[in-house]
């Protein structure tokens, strides 16, 4: 039995030796083959080399196309990046806080004397430096720079200390704020250059189309001259309540520090100013990129810059009308196409609209031949004009189209435009129809209440003065009662009423 165990151990050891020997031989062969193939790939006999010395004439067509796109991006970076600047601004905020020790013991006279506290609370002044980092780009050789206003407001007000670093040379300059526009978040800076400044080429944002290549260049998180690439996701985007500028949406990565930098097309032309992103929570800001960024169109910026340089402020057109939007049910009953027209609910006495002959109740359908669908359409068309420029306003009045040509004036300040509307009132007996309770008014009947289950709920409100329903004049309570008596089963309504001194028309159908 011993010789059998000895024979088995010998065979087992021989198997292990052979296995190790086979593994060694396989490793040597694999290494030789790998080195040989690697030498052939990098040598003259290889098919493709991705080294910098590649022979472009030997590349397949698909690689040539990809390489040409890459070269275009290289050229855009080389052309635009030197004209992008880093903007540092900082402000100091101060605040006072009372001595917390006094809050605990100061009100008790015994403890105040025991701890030898003053009769009055002592306060201490604290100060903190609030910094901000952003981007901008040079638009002229003499040192004008475009950026966002919010880049210059680290503590909610414009910083006193603004420093611009030119990326090409690394030189720092103290910048002067030439002017700004709160409405569009645009700021214009000026430096006194000690060098030959590189400048960007401004493009035409009206020609931007969805699907165009988009390139963002800026200083995200302080990383100077960062280049990101994507596409135009949308144009003419109404966003953030800004009625004076529509936005370009892009998926080119934008992050904190990109604000104020250029959005560039494939030709190296600036088509927008990178301004903000939207976060996963739906909030606006610069919290972190998720592929939804917004830029101010450069054509908007051109108009702002021109006025800031010439006047130091921005003026916008104004014609003196208050507007109420129409829904498609109302348009249908008025015989107006869907998504066309806004109602003139008030005309300011002595305004351009008043002088031209536009009246309360007119429906504005076009400005300079361009269709008007809503309030923002009209406001942006008029606001884009400079005071003194002409505007052709087309309205529908009693089913007829009329055109007026007027000269716009400068838009009043927000304070002037925020005057409270006068509210009408009425006393005496009341009447009720389908949950609407009214009393006698000066021009018609005054709504004194609307029941929650009324079909008029959400359309009429307390204080509204009804003057016409379905073409029937409502001058007093008797007119209203007669209408209510004859139209108990009425399902379709076209109501004309005043809300303060605003004239409104609403049409709707009870389902």
Positions marked catalytic: 150, 185, 259
Q: What is the DSSP letter of 45?
A: T
**In whole angstroms, how far apart are CA 161 and each of 85, 95, 146, 158?**
16, 20, 17, 9
What radius of gyration, in Å, describes the C-alpha atoms of the chain? Answer: 36
Instruction: Check if the beta carbon of residue 250 is closer than 8 Å to that of residue 214.
Output: yes
Q: Does residue 259 sit in helix, strand or coil?
A: coil
Nearest-angstrom CA–CA distance, 252 and 292: 8
Instruction: Check if the beta carbon of residue 427 is closer than 8 Å to that of residue 439.
Output: yes
Nearest-angstrom CA–CA distance, 449 and 215: 56
Instruction: Check if the beta carbon of residue 220 is closer than 8 Å to that of residue 256.
Output: yes
Q: Which of 396, 399, 477, 400 is nearest to 433 (CA)?
A: 477
Backbone angles phi, psi at 6, to 5 degrees: -65, -40
CB neighbours of 181 closer than 8 A, spacing ≥ 6?
149, 187, 304, 308, 314
List strand residue ranges (DSSP E) for 185-268, in order: 186-190, 201-202, 213-218, 226-237, 247-250, 262-264
Instruction: Check if the beta carbon of residue 234 is closer than 8 Å to that of residue 278.
Output: no
Instruction: Check if the beta carbon of residue 189 is closer than 8 Å to that of residue 175.
Output: yes
Rounded to the nearest angstrom, the gap between the alpha carbon of residue 305 and the centroid of all alpha carbons in its chain is 19
CB neighbours of 356 closer than 8 A, spacing ≥ 6?
393, 404, 405, 406
Backbone angles phi, psi at 408, to 5 degrees: -75, 155
Alpha helices in 271-408 (DSSP H): 298-311, 328-334, 352-356, 375-383
Instruction: Check if the beta carbon of residue 163 is closer than 8 Å to that of residue 169.
Output: no
Strand 269-278 to 201-202 pairing: parallel
Instruction: Check if the beta carbon of residue 304 is closer than 8 Å to that of residue 244.
Output: no
């Amino acid at each position: 039995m011993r010789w059998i165990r000895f024979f088995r151990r010998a065979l087992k050891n021989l198997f292990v030796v052979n296995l190790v020997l086979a593994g060694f031989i396989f490793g040597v062969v694999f290494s030789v083959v790998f080195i040989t193939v690697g030498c052939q790939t990098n040598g003259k006999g290889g098919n493709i080399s991705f080294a910098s010395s590649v022979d472009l004439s030997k590349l397949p067509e698909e690689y040539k196309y990809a390489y040409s796109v890459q070269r275009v991006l290289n050229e855009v970076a080389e052309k635009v990046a030197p004209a992008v600047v880093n903007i540092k601004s900082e402000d100091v905020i101060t605040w006072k806080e009372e001595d917390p020790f006094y809050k605990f013991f100061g009100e008790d006279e015994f403890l105040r004397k025991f701890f030898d506290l003053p009769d009055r609370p002592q306060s201490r002044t604290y100060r903190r430096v609030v910094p901000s980092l952003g981007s901008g780009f040079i638009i002229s050789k003499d040192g004008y720079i475009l950026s966002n206003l919010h880049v210059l407001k680290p503590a909610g007000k414009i910083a006193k200390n603004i420093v611009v670093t030119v990326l090409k040379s690394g030189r720092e300059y103290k910048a002067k704020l030439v002017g700004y526009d709160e409405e569009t978040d645009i700021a214009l800076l000026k430096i006194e250059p000690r060098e030959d400044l590189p400048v960007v080429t401004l493009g035409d944002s009206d020609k931007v189309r969805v699907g165009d290549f988009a390139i963002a260049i800026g200083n995200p998180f302080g990383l100077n001259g960062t280049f990101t690439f994507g596409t135009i996701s949308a144009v003419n985007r109404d966003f953030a309540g800004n009625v004076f500028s529509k936005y370009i949406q892009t998926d080119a990565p934008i992050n904190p520090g990109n604000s104020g930098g250029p959005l560039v097309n494939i030709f190296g032309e600036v088509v927008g100013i990178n301004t903000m992103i939207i976060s996963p929570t739906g909030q606006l800001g610069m919290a972190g990129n998720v592929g939804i960024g917004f830029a101010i169109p450069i054509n908007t910026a051109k108009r702002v810059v021109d006025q800031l340089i010439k006047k130091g402020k921005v003026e916008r057109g104004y014609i003196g009308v208050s507007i109420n939007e129409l829904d498609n049910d109302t348009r249908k009953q008025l015989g107006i196409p869907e998504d066309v027209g806004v109602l003139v609910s008030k005309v300011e006495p002595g305004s351009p609209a008043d002088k031209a002959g536009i009246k309360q109740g007119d429906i504005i359908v076009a400005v300079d031949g361009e269709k008007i669908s809503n309030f923002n359409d009209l406001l942006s068309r008029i606001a884009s004009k400079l005071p003194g420029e002409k505007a052709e306003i087309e309205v529908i009045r009693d089913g007829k189209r009329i055109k007026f040509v007027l000269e716009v004036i400068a838009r009043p300040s927000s304070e002037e435009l925020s005057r409270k509307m006068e509210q009408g009132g009425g006393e005496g007996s009341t009447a009720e129809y389908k949950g609407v309770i009214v009393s006698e008014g000066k021009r018609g009947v005054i709504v004194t209440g609307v029941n929650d289950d009324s079909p008029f709920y959400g359309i009429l409100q307390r204080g509204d003065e009804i003057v016409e329903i379905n073409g029937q004049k409502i001058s007093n309570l008797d007119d209203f009662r007669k209408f209510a008596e004859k139209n108990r089963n009425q399902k379709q309504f076209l109501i004309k009423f005043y809300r303060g001194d605003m004239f409104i028309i609403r049409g709707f159908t009870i389902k």
